[in-house]
Amino acid sequence: MSDISKIVLAYSGGLDTTAILKWLQETYQCEVVTFTADLGDGDDYSPVRQKALNSGASEVFIDDLREEFVKDFVFPMFRCNTIYEGEYLLGTSIARPLIAKRLIEISNETGADAIAHGATGKGNDQVRFELGAYALRPDIKVVSPWREWDLTSRESLMSFCEKHQIPVDRKHEGNKSPYSMDANLLHISYEGGILEDPNSEPEESMWLWSNSPESAPDAATYIELGYANGDVVAIDGKTMTPAEVLTYLNKVGGENGIGRVDIVENRYVGMKARGCYETPGGTILLKGHRAIESITLDRELAHLKDDLMPRYATLIYNGYWWSPERRAMQALIDNSQQHVNGVVRLKLYKGNVILVGRESVQDSLYDGNIVTFEDDAGAYDQKDAAGFIQLNALRLKVESKKGRKF
Protein backbone atom coordinates (compact mmCIF):
# COMPACT_ATOMS: atom_id res chain seq x y z
CA MET A 1 0.00 0.00 0.00
CA SER A 2 1.40 3.39 -0.99
CA ASP A 3 2.06 6.02 1.67
CA ILE A 4 0.80 8.64 -0.80
CA SER A 5 -2.85 9.60 -0.38
CA LYS A 6 -3.19 12.47 -2.86
CA ILE A 7 -1.10 13.65 -5.83
CA VAL A 8 -1.23 16.94 -7.74
CA LEU A 9 -0.42 16.24 -11.38
CA ALA A 10 0.86 18.85 -13.85
CA TYR A 11 -1.69 18.07 -16.56
CA SER A 12 -1.69 19.26 -20.17
CA GLY A 13 -4.78 17.39 -21.28
CA GLY A 14 -2.79 15.48 -23.89
CA LEU A 15 -2.49 11.73 -24.31
CA ASP A 16 0.65 11.32 -22.20
CA THR A 17 -0.54 13.15 -19.09
CA THR A 18 -3.99 11.55 -19.36
CA ALA A 19 -2.30 8.15 -19.37
CA ILE A 20 -0.18 9.32 -16.41
CA LEU A 21 -3.35 10.30 -14.52
CA LYS A 22 -4.71 6.75 -14.87
CA TRP A 23 -1.33 5.19 -14.10
CA LEU A 24 -1.01 7.20 -10.87
CA GLN A 25 -4.46 6.07 -9.73
CA GLU A 26 -3.69 2.45 -10.54
CA THR A 27 -0.15 2.40 -9.14
CA TYR A 28 -0.58 4.50 -6.02
CA GLN A 29 -4.28 3.83 -5.30
CA CYS A 30 -4.78 7.49 -4.44
CA GLU A 31 -6.65 10.64 -5.39
CA VAL A 32 -5.21 12.66 -8.25
CA VAL A 33 -5.77 16.41 -8.54
CA THR A 34 -4.84 17.96 -11.88
CA PHE A 35 -3.33 21.38 -12.50
CA THR A 36 -3.14 23.03 -15.92
CA ALA A 37 -1.28 26.31 -16.38
CA ASP A 38 -2.32 28.77 -19.06
CA LEU A 39 0.94 30.55 -19.83
CA GLY A 40 -0.23 32.00 -23.11
CA ASP A 41 0.28 29.18 -25.60
CA GLY A 42 -3.01 30.04 -27.31
CA ASP A 43 -4.69 26.70 -26.58
CA ASP A 44 -8.37 26.37 -25.73
CA TYR A 45 -8.47 24.86 -22.25
CA SER A 46 -12.25 24.48 -22.07
CA PRO A 47 -12.20 20.72 -22.87
CA VAL A 48 -9.36 20.00 -20.46
CA ARG A 49 -11.46 20.19 -17.28
CA GLN A 50 -14.01 17.65 -18.51
CA LYS A 51 -11.30 15.37 -19.87
CA ALA A 52 -9.54 15.35 -16.50
CA LEU A 53 -12.79 14.65 -14.64
CA ASN A 54 -13.72 11.90 -17.11
CA SER A 55 -10.31 10.34 -16.52
CA GLY A 56 -10.86 10.22 -12.75
CA ALA A 57 -9.39 13.45 -11.39
CA SER A 58 -10.88 14.28 -8.00
CA GLU A 59 -10.38 18.01 -8.51
CA VAL A 60 -9.27 20.17 -11.44
CA PHE A 61 -7.33 23.45 -11.38
CA ILE A 62 -6.92 25.49 -14.59
CA ASP A 63 -5.16 28.78 -13.88
CA ASP A 64 -4.52 31.77 -16.13
CA LEU A 65 -0.96 32.67 -15.11
CA ARG A 66 -0.03 34.86 -18.07
CA GLU A 67 0.39 38.14 -16.21
CA GLU A 68 2.24 36.56 -13.30
CA PHE A 69 4.49 34.70 -15.74
CA VAL A 70 5.64 37.81 -17.56
CA LYS A 71 5.66 40.21 -14.60
CA ASP A 72 7.40 38.01 -12.01
CA PHE A 73 9.53 35.70 -14.15
CA VAL A 74 10.12 36.91 -17.73
CA PHE A 75 10.67 40.60 -16.98
CA PRO A 76 13.05 40.01 -14.03
CA MET A 77 15.08 37.68 -16.27
CA PHE A 78 15.31 40.24 -19.08
CA ARG A 79 16.53 42.91 -16.64
CA CYS A 80 19.77 40.90 -16.70
CA ASN A 81 19.83 40.64 -20.53
CA THR A 82 19.77 36.90 -19.99
CA ILE A 83 20.73 34.51 -22.76
CA TYR A 84 22.02 30.93 -22.40
CA GLU A 85 25.03 29.78 -24.45
CA GLY A 86 24.84 32.86 -26.63
CA GLU A 87 21.45 32.21 -28.25
CA TYR A 88 18.74 30.63 -26.09
CA LEU A 89 16.33 33.07 -24.42
CA LEU A 90 15.20 30.44 -21.89
CA GLY A 91 11.54 30.30 -22.87
CA THR A 92 10.90 26.84 -21.43
CA SER A 93 13.31 27.19 -18.51
CA ILE A 94 11.71 30.34 -17.07
CA ALA A 95 8.20 28.83 -17.10
CA ARG A 96 9.12 25.85 -14.92
CA PRO A 97 9.63 27.66 -11.59
CA LEU A 98 6.15 29.20 -11.86
CA ILE A 99 4.58 25.80 -12.58
CA ALA A 100 6.49 24.29 -9.64
CA LYS A 101 5.31 27.15 -7.40
CA ARG A 102 1.67 26.60 -8.33
CA LEU A 103 1.97 22.82 -7.93
CA ILE A 104 3.17 23.33 -4.37
CA GLU A 105 0.47 25.92 -3.63
CA ILE A 106 -2.23 23.50 -4.81
CA SER A 107 -0.69 20.63 -2.87
CA ASN A 108 -0.92 22.79 0.27
CA GLU A 109 -4.49 23.89 -0.52
CA THR A 110 -5.75 20.37 -1.17
CA GLY A 111 -3.76 18.50 1.47
CA ALA A 112 -1.81 16.52 -1.12
CA ASP A 113 1.42 14.86 -0.05
CA ALA A 114 2.92 14.43 -3.55
CA ILE A 115 3.16 16.04 -6.96
CA ALA A 116 3.73 14.43 -10.35
CA HIS A 117 4.89 15.64 -13.77
CA GLY A 118 5.20 14.28 -17.28
CA ALA A 119 8.83 15.22 -17.93
CA THR A 120 11.06 12.45 -19.24
CA GLY A 121 14.19 11.16 -17.52
CA LYS A 122 16.41 12.52 -20.31
CA GLY A 123 15.58 16.19 -20.11
CA ASN A 124 16.05 19.29 -18.01
CA ASP A 125 12.41 19.77 -17.02
CA GLN A 126 12.41 16.96 -14.46
CA VAL A 127 15.26 18.77 -12.70
CA ARG A 128 13.58 22.17 -12.89
CA PHE A 129 10.22 20.96 -11.57
CA GLU A 130 11.71 18.97 -8.73
CA LEU A 131 14.35 21.46 -7.56
CA GLY A 132 11.64 24.12 -7.45
CA ALA A 133 9.25 21.86 -5.57
CA TYR A 134 11.81 20.85 -2.96
CA ALA A 135 12.90 24.45 -2.45
CA LEU A 136 9.32 25.52 -1.76
CA ARG A 137 8.21 22.46 0.22
CA PRO A 138 11.05 20.24 1.44
CA ASP A 139 8.77 17.39 2.57
CA ILE A 140 6.94 17.02 -0.74
CA LYS A 141 7.08 13.66 -2.50
CA VAL A 142 7.64 13.70 -6.25
CA VAL A 143 6.41 11.03 -8.66
CA SER A 144 8.03 10.94 -12.10
CA PRO A 145 6.24 8.24 -14.14
CA TRP A 146 8.73 8.29 -17.03
CA ARG A 147 11.42 7.19 -14.55
CA GLU A 148 9.20 4.50 -13.03
CA TRP A 149 6.79 2.90 -15.46
CA ASP A 150 7.45 0.33 -18.20
CA LEU A 151 5.53 2.20 -20.92
CA THR A 152 8.69 2.94 -22.83
CA SER A 153 7.30 2.92 -26.38
CA ARG A 154 4.39 4.48 -28.24
CA GLU A 155 2.91 1.01 -28.74
CA SER A 156 2.95 0.17 -25.03
CA LEU A 157 1.42 3.55 -24.21
CA MET A 158 -1.37 2.97 -26.74
CA SER A 159 -2.03 -0.48 -25.27
CA PHE A 160 -2.30 1.05 -21.82
CA CYS A 161 -4.77 3.64 -23.12
CA GLU A 162 -6.86 0.96 -24.82
CA LYS A 163 -6.92 -1.15 -21.64
CA HIS A 164 -8.11 1.82 -19.55
CA GLN A 165 -10.52 3.14 -22.20
CA ILE A 166 -8.62 6.39 -22.65
CA PRO A 167 -9.84 7.88 -25.94
CA VAL A 168 -7.16 8.10 -28.61
CA ASP A 169 -7.90 10.21 -31.67
CA ARG A 170 -6.09 8.04 -34.23
CA LYS A 171 -6.66 10.57 -36.99
CA HIS A 172 -5.26 13.34 -34.83
CA GLU A 173 -2.35 11.13 -33.77
CA GLY A 174 -1.57 10.39 -37.40
CA ASN A 175 -1.57 14.09 -38.30
CA LYS A 176 0.29 15.12 -35.17
CA SER A 177 3.39 17.26 -35.54
CA PRO A 178 6.54 15.10 -35.56
CA TYR A 179 8.13 17.51 -33.08
CA SER A 180 8.00 17.71 -29.32
CA MET A 181 6.81 21.26 -28.70
CA ASP A 182 6.45 23.57 -25.72
CA ALA A 183 4.80 26.97 -25.99
CA ASN A 184 4.12 29.91 -23.71
CA LEU A 185 4.00 33.69 -24.05
CA LEU A 186 7.79 33.88 -24.35
CA HIS A 187 8.45 31.22 -26.98
CA ILE A 188 7.64 28.00 -28.76
CA SER A 189 10.22 25.21 -28.92
CA TYR A 190 10.69 22.27 -31.27
CA GLU A 191 12.67 19.09 -30.61
CA GLY A 192 12.75 15.56 -32.02
CA GLY A 193 11.90 14.32 -35.50
CA ILE A 194 14.37 15.38 -38.17
CA LEU A 195 15.87 17.85 -35.68
CA GLU A 196 17.67 14.96 -34.00
CA ASP A 197 20.10 15.20 -36.93
CA PRO A 198 21.90 18.49 -36.21
CA ASN A 199 22.80 18.77 -39.90
CA SER A 200 19.18 18.74 -41.13
CA GLU A 201 17.59 22.08 -41.98
CA PRO A 202 14.18 22.54 -40.33
CA GLU A 203 11.22 22.44 -42.68
CA GLU A 204 9.64 25.83 -43.23
CA SER A 205 6.27 24.37 -42.25
CA MET A 206 7.60 23.66 -38.75
CA TRP A 207 7.66 27.32 -37.74
CA LEU A 208 4.29 28.39 -36.35
CA TRP A 209 4.78 31.90 -34.99
CA SER A 210 6.94 33.69 -37.53
CA ASN A 211 7.20 34.43 -41.20
CA SER A 212 10.46 33.50 -42.82
CA PRO A 213 12.70 36.54 -43.31
CA GLU A 214 12.29 36.04 -47.08
CA SER A 215 8.49 36.29 -46.89
CA ALA A 216 8.36 39.06 -44.27
CA PRO A 217 7.06 42.47 -45.40
CA ASP A 218 9.30 44.52 -47.67
CA ALA A 219 8.58 47.65 -45.63
CA ALA A 220 10.12 48.03 -42.18
CA THR A 221 7.99 48.33 -39.04
CA TYR A 222 8.98 50.96 -36.47
CA ILE A 223 8.09 50.58 -32.81
CA GLU A 224 8.80 52.64 -29.69
CA LEU A 225 9.32 50.93 -26.34
CA GLY A 226 8.76 52.92 -23.15
CA TYR A 227 10.79 51.77 -20.11
CA ALA A 228 10.29 52.24 -16.37
CA ASN A 229 12.79 50.64 -13.96
CA GLY A 230 14.07 48.34 -16.70
CA ASP A 231 10.69 46.97 -17.83
CA VAL A 232 8.67 47.84 -20.93
CA VAL A 233 5.48 49.57 -19.75
CA ALA A 234 4.30 51.13 -23.03
CA ILE A 235 4.55 50.55 -26.77
CA ASP A 236 4.12 53.45 -29.18
CA GLY A 237 2.91 55.55 -26.26
CA LYS A 238 0.18 53.10 -25.21
CA THR A 239 0.42 51.77 -21.65
CA MET A 240 0.27 47.97 -21.50
CA THR A 241 0.41 45.21 -18.90
CA PRO A 242 3.41 42.84 -19.01
CA ALA A 243 1.44 40.11 -20.79
CA GLU A 244 0.01 42.61 -23.26
CA VAL A 245 3.53 43.84 -24.04
CA LEU A 246 4.82 40.37 -24.84
CA THR A 247 1.69 39.39 -26.78
CA TYR A 248 2.02 42.47 -29.00
CA LEU A 249 5.77 42.05 -29.53
CA ASN A 250 5.28 38.39 -30.47
CA LYS A 251 2.76 39.42 -33.11
CA VAL A 252 4.72 42.26 -34.68
CA GLY A 253 8.01 40.38 -34.34
CA GLY A 254 6.63 37.22 -35.91
CA GLU A 255 5.19 39.17 -38.82
CA ASN A 256 8.68 40.54 -39.52
CA GLY A 257 10.45 37.18 -39.35
CA ILE A 258 12.14 37.84 -36.01
CA GLY A 259 13.15 35.39 -33.31
CA ARG A 260 14.10 32.08 -34.94
CA VAL A 261 17.10 30.23 -33.52
CA ASP A 262 18.52 26.76 -34.13
CA ILE A 263 20.97 25.58 -31.48
CA VAL A 264 22.69 22.55 -30.03
CA GLU A 265 22.62 23.17 -26.31
CA ASN A 266 24.22 21.46 -23.33
CA ARG A 267 21.58 19.95 -21.09
CA TYR A 268 22.16 19.83 -17.33
CA VAL A 269 21.83 16.03 -17.36
CA GLY A 270 24.96 15.82 -19.52
CA MET A 271 23.90 15.34 -23.13
CA LYS A 272 23.86 17.73 -26.07
CA ALA A 273 20.46 18.32 -27.65
CA ARG A 274 19.36 20.20 -30.74
CA GLY A 275 16.41 22.54 -30.39
CA CYS A 276 14.74 25.19 -32.51
CA TYR A 277 13.00 28.14 -30.91
CA GLU A 278 10.77 31.02 -31.92
CA THR A 279 11.06 33.96 -29.52
CA PRO A 280 9.99 37.07 -31.46
CA GLY A 281 8.94 39.23 -28.51
CA GLY A 282 11.88 38.17 -26.37
CA THR A 283 14.35 38.99 -29.14
CA ILE A 284 12.93 42.51 -29.33
CA LEU A 285 12.98 42.88 -25.53
CA LEU A 286 16.66 41.92 -25.34
CA LYS A 287 17.70 44.44 -28.02
CA GLY A 288 15.62 47.21 -26.50
CA HIS A 289 16.78 46.65 -22.93
CA ARG A 290 20.46 46.72 -23.83
CA ALA A 291 19.82 49.95 -25.72
CA ILE A 292 18.16 51.78 -22.83
CA GLU A 293 20.83 50.54 -20.41
CA SER A 294 23.56 51.85 -22.72
CA ILE A 295 22.62 55.45 -21.89
CA THR A 296 21.33 55.09 -18.33
CA LEU A 297 23.62 52.57 -16.62
CA ASP A 298 27.04 53.32 -15.13
CA ARG A 299 29.89 51.60 -16.98
CA GLU A 300 31.15 49.42 -14.12
CA LEU A 301 27.64 48.44 -13.07
CA ALA A 302 26.83 47.48 -16.66
CA HIS A 303 30.01 45.42 -16.90
CA LEU A 304 29.30 43.73 -13.55
CA LYS A 305 25.88 42.72 -14.88
CA ASP A 306 27.52 41.35 -18.03
CA ASP A 307 29.90 39.31 -15.87
CA LEU A 308 27.04 37.88 -13.82
CA MET A 309 24.71 37.17 -16.74
CA PRO A 310 26.13 33.80 -17.93
CA ARG A 311 25.99 32.41 -14.41
CA TYR A 312 22.50 33.81 -13.87
CA ALA A 313 21.39 32.25 -17.17
CA THR A 314 22.84 28.89 -16.19
CA LEU A 315 21.01 28.98 -12.85
CA ILE A 316 17.71 29.47 -14.65
CA TYR A 317 18.48 26.86 -17.31
CA ASN A 318 19.46 24.28 -14.68
CA GLY A 319 16.43 24.88 -12.47
CA TYR A 320 17.80 27.01 -9.64
CA TRP A 321 15.34 29.91 -9.82
CA TRP A 322 14.43 29.46 -6.16
CA SER A 323 18.05 29.17 -4.98
CA PRO A 324 19.60 31.73 -2.60
CA GLU A 325 22.29 32.67 -5.12
CA ARG A 326 19.72 33.49 -7.83
CA ARG A 327 17.70 35.57 -5.38
CA ALA A 328 20.83 37.44 -4.29
CA MET A 329 21.78 38.14 -7.90
CA GLN A 330 18.22 39.30 -8.59
CA ALA A 331 18.43 41.82 -5.77
CA LEU A 332 21.54 43.33 -7.35
CA ILE A 333 20.02 43.27 -10.83
CA ASP A 334 16.77 44.89 -9.70
CA ASN A 335 18.66 47.57 -7.79
CA SER A 336 20.60 48.39 -10.95
CA GLN A 337 17.36 49.16 -12.81
CA GLN A 338 16.10 52.11 -10.78
CA HIS A 339 17.37 54.62 -13.36
CA VAL A 340 16.74 52.49 -16.46
CA ASN A 341 13.94 54.70 -17.75
CA GLY A 342 13.24 56.18 -21.16
CA VAL A 343 12.30 55.32 -24.73
CA VAL A 344 13.92 53.07 -27.34
CA ARG A 345 13.04 53.19 -31.04
CA LEU A 346 13.50 50.05 -33.10
CA LYS A 347 13.11 49.09 -36.75
CA LEU A 348 11.92 45.54 -37.49
CA TYR A 349 12.87 44.29 -40.92
CA LYS A 350 13.14 40.77 -42.36
CA GLY A 351 14.42 38.99 -39.27
CA ASN A 352 16.39 41.95 -37.92
CA VAL A 353 15.84 44.15 -34.90
CA ILE A 354 17.63 47.40 -35.71
CA LEU A 355 18.16 50.11 -33.12
CA VAL A 356 17.39 53.58 -34.46
CA GLY A 357 17.24 55.70 -31.32
CA ARG A 358 17.26 55.82 -27.52
CA GLU A 359 16.38 58.64 -25.14
CA SER A 360 16.11 59.18 -21.38
CA VAL A 361 15.27 62.74 -20.43
CA GLN A 362 15.87 62.40 -16.69
CA ASP A 363 18.34 59.50 -16.40
CA SER A 364 20.68 59.58 -19.39
CA LEU A 365 24.40 59.55 -18.55
CA TYR A 366 25.29 60.45 -22.11
CA ASP A 367 26.63 64.01 -22.22
CA GLY A 368 26.99 65.43 -25.71
CA ASN A 369 28.98 68.39 -24.38
CA ILE A 370 31.73 66.04 -23.20
CA VAL A 371 31.88 63.60 -26.10
CA THR A 372 31.56 66.09 -28.98
CA PHE A 373 34.22 66.35 -31.70
CA GLU A 374 33.49 70.05 -31.83
CA ASP A 375 34.52 72.69 -29.26
CA ASP A 376 33.52 71.32 -25.84
CA ALA A 377 34.02 74.66 -24.06
CA GLY A 378 36.40 73.11 -21.53
CA ALA A 379 34.14 70.22 -20.50
CA TYR A 380 37.02 67.78 -21.04
CA ASP A 381 40.75 68.58 -20.82
CA GLN A 382 42.50 66.32 -23.31
CA LYS A 383 45.85 66.88 -21.54
CA ASP A 384 44.56 64.81 -18.63
CA ALA A 385 44.70 61.70 -20.83
CA ALA A 386 48.54 61.72 -20.82
CA GLY A 387 48.82 61.09 -17.07
CA PHE A 388 46.00 58.57 -17.20
CA ILE A 389 47.86 56.57 -19.84
CA GLN A 390 51.19 56.77 -18.01
CA LEU A 391 49.74 55.44 -14.76
CA ASN A 392 47.95 52.59 -16.51
CA ALA A 393 51.08 51.72 -18.51
CA LEU A 394 53.30 51.56 -15.40
CA ARG A 395 52.90 47.84 -14.69
CA LEU A 396 53.38 47.01 -18.38
CA LYS A 397 56.64 48.97 -18.44
CA VAL A 398 57.95 47.26 -15.29
CA GLU A 399 57.18 43.81 -16.69
CA SER A 400 58.82 44.61 -20.01
CA LYS A 401 62.00 45.93 -18.28
CA LYS A 402 62.26 42.56 -16.49
CA GLY A 403 62.60 40.94 -19.90
CA ARG A 404 59.36 38.97 -19.73
CA LYS A 405 58.46 37.70 -23.15
CA PHE A 406 55.02 37.71 -24.70
Helices (H), 357-402: 368-371, 384-401
Q: Which residues are catalytic?
A: 16, 96, 125, 180
Check: CB of residue 8 under 8 Å from CB of residue 133.
no
Report yes or no: 113 and 140 within 8 Å, Cβ to Cβ.
yes
Question: Does residue 280 contact residue 209 with C-beta atoms inside 8 Å?
Answer: yes
Task: Please tell me the distance from the alpha carbon of residue 83 to that of residue 74, in angstroms, as a whole number.
Answer: 12
DSSP sequence for 158-172 = HHHHHHTT----HHH
Q: How far apart are CA 115 and CA 150, in angstroms?
A: 20
Q: CA 45 to CA 236: how far, in whole Å?
A: 32
3-class SS at 306? Answer: helix
* 3-state secondary structure (DSSP) of residue 303: helix
Q: Are 114 and 145 in contact (CB under 8 A)?
A: no
Exposed, middle or buried: residue 323 (CB in 10 Å: 0-12, 13-18, 19+)? middle
- Report whether 72 contacts 296 (CB < 8 A): no
